[in-house]
Copies of this chain bind each other. A is one copy, B any other.
Amino acid sequence: MLYNRIALFRAERGISRKALAEAVGVNPQTIGYLERGDYKPSLELAMKIAAEFEVAIEHLFSFTPFEPVAAVLRRAGDAA
């Protein structure tokens, strides 16, 4: 299993799977498959999605579950 934050970043930016798919040049279903972990992306696609969201690949895909955003916020000392 490969975990990812695609849906998270997509939600934050308010873009649909279709829009993300077009931005990175794949089929909309492919984004869906990735989000539910049905299959693992190529490095190429992973890099394109990371570039689209302007995050490091390591922050987008992980073999261990991602820390909840709430925990990251606390760890970052975010008051707001």
Q: Choose the segment among A12-20, A42-50, A65-73 that binds chain B (4+ C-beta atoms closer than 8 Å).
A: A42-50
- A7 in the interface (beta carbon within 8 A): no
**Minimum C-beta distance from A25 to chain B (A):** 13
**A47 CB contact (under 8 Å) in B44, B45, B61:** B61
**Minimum C-beta distance from A4 to chain B (A):** 10
- A56 in the interface (beta carbon within 8 A): yes
Query: What sequence of 0s and 1s flags, for each residue 10-46 of chain A, a beta carbon within 8 Å of any chain B beta carbon?
Result: 0000000000000000000000000000001111111
Which chain B positions have C-beta within 8 A of A58?
56-57
Contact residues of A with B, CB < 8 Å? 2, 40-47, 56-58, 61, 63
